[in-house]
Every structure is written in C-alpha cells, then in structure tokens.
C-alpha cells in the first residue's frame, strides 16, 4: 500500500468530495492527487540542464473538478475555490478563459489558472469552463513545492478529463511554462517532474537536459533511517529577485565559458577563465553539485548512508558559501541536526528561507528535533515546524 492510500488521505478525499458538493451544489467528476517534494540533492542544477535527485513526499494537493459542459455547454468560466481559509464555506473566484492574462491572476488561483492558460496555448486544445476545489497539506512557502503540487494536480486532472493524452514529460514542460510565463517565476523543471514521475520509496534521478528519468531505491528502511524536514517558517518566493539573479549569474558564466549550459562544464578547473569572483563562485556550486548528484546515486546504490550524509553536507556548504542562498535559520537547522547526530543535513529547494532536511536514524527523531528547537529558541528565531517525510508515488487519480 502506498502512503497516499493511507486512512488520513482517504479522509481528506472524502471531506473534499463533500466540500465540493457544498460549494458547487453537485459532485465532482473526480479527485486527483499531486505530491510536494523534497530534493535530496541537486539544487539549482535543473535550469543549468544538469542532474537532480528529488522525491515526492507524503504530503499532497488534492484537486476536485467538474466540467460545466453538461449543464452549461457554452460556459468558459472557471470557478476556483480552496479549503485554505479553513472556513465551512469556501469562497469562489471566477474568471473566464479569455480573461487569463499572464501575471494578472493574484494568489493561489494563479496556479490552476496558469495550467489552463498553458494548455489552451496548445494547438488543437480548447478547454471549457469547470469548477475546481483544492485542498493541500503541503505547507505553503516552505520550499516543499506546494505551488507545483497545485499545478500538477490540475494538469493531471485536465489531462484525464479532456483526454489530452499528455506524457509526464510533456506535463512537466507545460507546468514549467505555466509557472515561468503566467505566474512569472523563472523556475526549472525539477519540482513538477518529481510530483509527476516519482515512485514510492525511491528518489527520481532526472537528467534535466534529456529528461531521461530513473528511479533510485532509497535504502532507508534497511538502515532504519528517515528524512526529517525542518521548515524554518521563513517563507520564500521564487518570483522575487534572488532566484532570478542566480539564474542570470549562471547565464553570464556560460557566456564567458562559451557553453550552452553549466552542465557542459566537467571540472572546476575550467572556471579559472571567469574573472568575476561572484559569477565564478555561482558556477562552482553548479559544477560541483552536478558531481555530487552523480556521486549520491552511486553511494545510494552501495547502501552507504554515511557517504550520502557527507555529500548532503557538502551540498549545504556549497549553497551557503558559493551559491549564497542559505539563511541563518537554515544554517542553524543544519548545524544543530548534525551536532545532535544526524547522518547528513542540508537546506532543500530554492533557498532564501523554506526548509532543511536531515537524514537521521529513526531513534534520533526526538533528540534531533529537540536540539533544533532549542537552537532556534536560543537564537530567537520563529519556532520551526519539524516532521518526517516518506518517499511517496507521483500524481494520479485519488
């Protein structure tokens, strides 16, 4: 049984079905599930055409939909509602398909709207109006990809309902376009791919240039190990400057080196040709991070968790010192977890806030969590949200 079939998930699915009926006056045609993700290693390598190793987590967005075609065949109105407010009744935002203008839809509704926009841009696809209700337990702004879960939940639902026949890779590319052009966040392709293509108890080894994907078994159960998430509750966003600035530095490095993407740089020696010390450091992170992903896949195959832990920490140091996307809170979480005996730890996701992960033995859940809580309290940081995650399967019908 996968984690997504758990009792808790089943209860959320039936609550969402009821909520839909209350909100729109009839049953949904179906409910689809799309998970958030943790990235084990391979940060900011996706838009550099490199390697990533994320896994889908047992926290997900649930999307309930009903097309209007039976009752109102001409309607192009999209009615979006969410359970986010926690109230009994879910307020509905309505917009027609021809009113979908990039960067003009505020709030969470931008994500399903972006997907409709991207699909409608395809030749031969014309969506009709529909009602959508969403529920998610992926913490928002935590670097666990809550927005991509929403986009992926929407695209898998529409792919089924409108019989579009899109492959996982195509859906990942379309949601990336939706995110880049409609939402306005210049993100890569890792998060959608993890949400779409993951397999339970495995990480997804993705080559972001060829889009070749392989699942890599995570030998956690045999080592009685788990992944702990430490959500610093410092919210991050990829629409603002930091993420885009890192992307630009990588492009500048490529210009100096005469390569299409930093993926094409095999060794840090080649970076000597870059004069600007900041651009050189940024490029160094990408080149070394790609090597760390390949190395992690290898040591995972050998069942060597200590070696995985070492690579996770090297990745963190690289993001802290060379890519400069960590934060005081993320550094404190990583150091406290390691001091309390974690096998390895690093920040995960885009950075500038969000979450860190720690690879720990199961009996360390309490002591490591306690150590992190104390470190945060002593430093006067907001209390972090700490929980374990399991590697779950990718999106599908709930």
* Chain residues that interact with ligand GAF, rule: CB under 6 A: 39, 43-44, 46-47, 187-188, 190-191, 238, 349-350
CA distances (Å), origin 171, targets 22, 61, 178: 31, 16, 10
280, 271 contact by CB (below 8 A): yes
* Rounded CA separation 384/332 (Å): 11
| Min dist. Cβ of residue 351 to ligand GAF (A) | 7
Question: How far is the C-alpha of 205 from the C-alpha of 203, rounded, in Å?
Answer: 6
Directed axis angle between helix 168-177 and helix 146-161, to 10°? Answer: 120
Backbone torsion region of residue 311, taken as left when φ is above 0, otherwise alpha when ψ lies between -120 and 50, otherwise beta: alpha
Interatomic CA distance for residues 271 and 263, integer angstroms: 13
Neighbouring-strand partners of residue 216: 203
- 148, 133, 135, 134: which is closest to 57 by C-alpha? 148
Q: Provide the pairing of β-strand 51-67 with 30-41.
A: antiparallel
Residues 6+ apart with CB under 8 A from 120: 97, 100, 126, 127
Could you give the residue numbers annotated as active site? 191
SS3 letters across 36-91: EEEEEECCCCHHHCCEEEEEEEEEEEEEEEEECCCCCCCCCEEEEEECCCCCCCCC
Name which of 347, 341, 355 is nearest 306 in CA terms.
Answer: 341
Least Cα distance to 133 among 246, 20, 219, 229 occurs for: 20
Q: In terms of Cα–Cα distance, which of 138, 227, 156, 139 is closest to 196?
A: 156
Widest CA span in the chain: 65
Of 9 and 187, the one with the shorter C-beta distance to ligand GAF is 187
């Amino acid at each position: 049984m996968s984690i997504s079939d758990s009792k808790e998930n089943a209860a959320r699915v039936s609550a969402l079905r009821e909520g839909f009926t209350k909100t729109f006056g009839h049953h949904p045609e179906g409910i689809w599930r799309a998970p958030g993700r943790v990235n084990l290693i391979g940060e900011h390598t996706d838009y550099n055409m490199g390697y990533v190793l994320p896994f889908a987590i047992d926290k997900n967005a649930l999307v309930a939909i009903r097309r209007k075609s039976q009752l109102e065949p001409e309607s192009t109105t999209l009615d979006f509602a969410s359970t986010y407010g926690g109230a009994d009744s879910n307020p509905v935002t309505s917009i027609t398909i021809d009113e979908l203008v990039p960067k003009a839809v505020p709030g969470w509704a931008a994500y399903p709207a972006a997907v409709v926009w991207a699909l409608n841009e395809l030749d031969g696809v014309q969506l009709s109006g529909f009602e959508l209700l969403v529920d998610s337990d992926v913490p928002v702004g935590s670097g666990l990809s809550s927005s991509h879960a929403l986009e992926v939940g929407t695209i898998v639902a529409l792919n089924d309902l409108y019989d579009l026949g899109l492959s996982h890779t195509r859906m990942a590319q379309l949601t990336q376009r939706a995110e880049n052009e409609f939402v306005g966040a210049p993100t890569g392709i890792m998060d959608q791919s993890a949400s779409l293509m993951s397999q339970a108890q495995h990480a997804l080894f993705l080559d972001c240039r060829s889009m070749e994907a392989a699942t890599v078994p995570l030998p956690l159960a045999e080592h009685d190990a788990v992944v702990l998430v430490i959500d610093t509750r410092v919210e991050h966003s990829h629409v603002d400057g930091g993420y885009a600035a890192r992307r630009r530095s990588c492009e500048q490095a490529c210009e100096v080196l005469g390569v299409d993407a930093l993926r094409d740089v095999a060794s840090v020696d080649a970076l000597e040709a870059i004069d600007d010390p900041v651009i050189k450091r940024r490029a160094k992170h990408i080149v070394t991070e790609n090597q760390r992903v390949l190395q992690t896949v290898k040591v995972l195959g050998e069942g060597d968790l200590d070696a995985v832990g070492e690579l996770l920490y090297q990745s963190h140091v690289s993001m802290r010192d060379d890519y400069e996307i960590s934060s005081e809170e993320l550094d404190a979480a990583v150091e406290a977890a390691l001091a309390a005996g974690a096998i390895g730890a690093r920040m995960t996701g885009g950075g500038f806030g969000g979450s860190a992960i720690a690879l720990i033995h199961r009996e360390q859940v309490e002591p490591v969590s306690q150590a992190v809580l104390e470190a945060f309290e002593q430093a006067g940081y907001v209390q972090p949200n700490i929980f374990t995650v399991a590697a779950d399967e990718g999106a599908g019908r709930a």
